[in-house]
Structure 1
């Protein structure tokens, strides 16, 4: 039986890329280990195929044993779905405990922990890849293009690799987002209004914050200048730079630290025909110089991200938010404005109070010119089954217009 192979201990190779090891047909095998969130290779690995039952797989995955799939690819997907159903079938005693009244911040952290444990368990179903990113399984799809976008060009010298099926599904989903693009109403009429997010770069699916930037009153250029200079701090896909460019801002500097985001922004801005208005540079927060408008849409929740893609949502310790506020006045031209786009979800989750935010403005020499609010329209905002439904139902996204205290 494939799932009766003896588990073995996995150790990272003395190189940048960790290695996963297992025993197959009486021989020790190894391959490169791929994990976007930086998870170490599983220490215990057994083989699994079409004869492996969902109950057996669930028990092994919960125990921390990974299953390297050797059967039909579509059956692997069905097994992953079965594992997800078991993970979501919470026993009555746990549902009762979860229903007890706890501080909202504790409920948030419990939810995050449960999601992390669920992801770890589902990540135990593994898929093999050849050196060219083909999958040596029956009925396996062609994922070479999607894997190249996520992992870079295939390297024959690197040999075979292994990743979780859940990660592969994320890669193929990201490829479809990139291929089809996301329609952004603020960028005009289709088909010339699409943003194409790359793998690992957060997709601009929440349109309310984009619309705020598209409609807020633009500041005037400094005395003696005819054009407005703008900074887009943490540009991501480049969507806010594109909106500002379509609004007629002729000089924009967009920054990001992530090479994936920089490449994504450059591609989107070129595709939208506004690349000549936007300079994309790698920087930690601000570029050099000053601007009449400095825009920043930092991660909204001060919590630790569990993967690179979550850095667009979770900002541990509020580092980016505090860094933006601390450096803003030095980068504002005379009579310039800083636009901070921020949800108040953190306030409703007990992670940051409104008083703390206002105190941070004052502490960094900033005053509020005005605030423009918008209610979220995404599906989770009205999903009563969401564990954070109460907080999400009261969420408001705001554009804070900030200026230096004179």
Structure 2
């Protein structure tokens, strides 16, 4: 078993250490200094830019204010005009996002053995942390009694404690609020989907509307590939599909989909199973909403947005014919944003259909409704404004073509 990463620092002239928590796999910082309510934002920003993390020991609300101050300093840095080439603009934009995340991730807060934040005026984050990290545990390889004895023996060091970036912690808190409140889905009659941490929220409802409105080829069985929150499986069940097999390989997504289908009263129709893409057998309807952009994700939730090398897209297409019934349809829900960003061409997509032995039976389009499509200050505005999301109805090649690309 891999040992959890550890971050080490010196405090009050004593060596300290704690478990390092990072959902996106960021390594523990090599240098850590103590910061508190007396720390000036300019000093904190300079240290963060130099790769030194700041472990906060002051008031929690002041830590949030310092994080905001760091963000302002990043945002006011002189910016070059975005490259004329949209693909280069995308890569520059991603690099800027990563730089921002790295700097803001340098402000750290402690978590105690119960996953609480032992700082003045800190909110109760135990539920949010438990849902993201799992239950609090003693240090690896130790019983609770051994942990307590070790902590007593080592001055200033508690092996059950951990450190996390404040930015990540605030993300956990926000995700937990989304899970509590849920996201209203018009296609489900206004009922709500409750996304778990690390599972993509169906806040952009246009792709859900496509699945809710396309004509069903059959109602006895459907596969939902990469179900995530279970929203599309639930929509199909509400439309009258008698049995839906929803697959995913992420344990968080599987738990999330099961919880949502139970809450929506469709668990009797929807079977949620762990699988990499397809379950066993064939179905007359197979639905897939893969990540839309072929780029590398940098956090758990980005795996629903970025698909390195088009792995899931091409995996779905190449396996579709083997899992469709003879007159079945595969519904591919895909934005053309990658095409407008120069990351994949329309001809490459059509060629992938042909190589997989598929033909286009029809296509339904919808334009995005999210605010970023109208935000002219967005460096990717030209691509976002031109974006169209499509539901491609695909069949095996021997059916013939009845639609137009």
Bin of the TM-score, shorter chain as denominator length = over 0.9
Of 271-280 and 153-162, more deviation after overlay is shown by: 153-162
Q: TM-score, normalised by structure 1?
A: 0.92
Q: Secondary structure at the match of 2:117?
A: coil
Counterpart of 1:82 in structure 2 is 69
Matched, 1:397 2:380: no
Matched, 1:169 2:170: yes
Q: Secondary structure at the match of 1:142?
A: coil
Q: Secondary structure at the match of 1:162?
A: strand
Quote how far apart the aligned CAs of 1:153 are. Answer: 1.0
Cα distance in 1 for residues equivalent to 2:210 and 2:301: 24
Quote how far apart the aligned CAs of 1:52 are. Answer: 0.5
Q: Secondary structure at the match of 1:355?
A: helix
Cα distance in 1 for residues equivalent to 2:223 and 2:211: 13
Counterpart of 1:308 in structure 2 is 300
Counterpart of 2:96 in structure 1 is 114
Query: After TM superposition, which residue ranges in structure 1, 4 or more long, deviate above 4 angstroms?
Result: none
Quote how far apart the aligned CAs of 1:307 are. Answer: 1.3
Render the CA deviation track for 1:1-25: whole Å, top value 9, x for unaligned: xxxxxxxxxxxxx943100111011
Counterpart of 2:56 in structure 1 is 69
| Residue in structure 2 matching 1:102, options 66, 84, 87 | 84
Counterpart of 1:358 in structure 2 is 350
Matched, 1:160 2:161: yes
Unmatched 5+ residue regions in structure 2?
A: 139-143, 145-158, 399-405
Q: Secondary structure at the match of 2:48?
A: helix
| Residue in structure 1 matching 2:276, options 281, 284, 292 | 284
| Residue in structure 2 matching 1:206, options 204, 207, 210 | 204
Matched residues, number? 379
Cα distance in 1 for residues equivalent to 2:290 and 2:215: 21
Cα distance in 2 for residues equivalent to 1:259 and 1:57: 38
Quote how far apart the aligned CAs of 1:334 are. Answer: 1.6
Cα distance in 1 for residues equivalent to 2:3 and 2:18: 13
Q: Secondary structure at the match of 1:276?
A: coil
Q: Secondary structure at the match of 1:275?
A: coil
Q: Secondary structure at the match of 1:340?
A: strand
Quote how far apart the aligned CAs of 1:98 are. Answer: 2.6
Render the CA deviation track for 1:206-255: whole Å, top value 9, x for unaligned: 010000000000003xxxxxx52100000000000000000000111000
| Residue in structure 2 matching 1:274, options 227, 247, 266 | 266
Quote how far apart the aligned CAs of 1:356 are. Answer: 0.4
Quote how far apart the aligned CAs of 1:175 are. Answer: 0.4
Cα distance in 1 for residues equivalent to 2:336 and 2:267: 33
Counterpart of 1:375 in structure 2 is 367
Q: Secondary structure at the match of 1:305?
A: coil
Counterpart of 2:147 in structure 1 is none
Cα distance in 1 for residues equivalent to 2:293 and 2:2: 34
| Residue in structure 2 matching 1:146, options 117, 128, 144 | 128
Quote how far apart the aligned CAs of 1:155 are. Answer: 1.8
Quote how far apart the aligned CAs of 1:90 are. Answer: 2.4
Q: How does 1:312-323 map to 2 (within 5 A)?
A: 312-323=304-315
Cα distance in 2 for residues equivalent to 1:102 and 1:387: 10
Counterpart of 2:215 in structure 1 is 217
| Residue in structure 2 matching 1:252, options 238, 244, 248 | 244
Unmatched 5+ residue regions in structure 1?
A: 1-13, 221-226
Matched, 1:347 2:348: no
Matched, 1:263 2:246: no
Cα distance in 2 for residues equivalent to 1:396 and 1:239: 21
CA RMSD of aligned residues (A): 1.0
Cα distance in 1 for residues equivalent to 2:105 and 2:242: 46
Cα distance in 2 for residues equivalent to 1:71 and 1:165: 13
Counterpart of 2:114 in structure 1 is 132
Q: Secondary structure at the match of 1:112?
A: helix
Render the CA deviation track for 1:366-396: whole Å, top value 9, x for unaligned: 0101110001001111111111011000000
Q: TM-score, normalised by structure 2?
A: 0.92
Counterpart of 2:181 in structure 1 is 180
Matched, 1:234 2:226: yes
Cα distance in 2 for residues equivalent to 1:285 and 1:200: 19
Q: Secondary structure at the match of 2:331?
A: strand
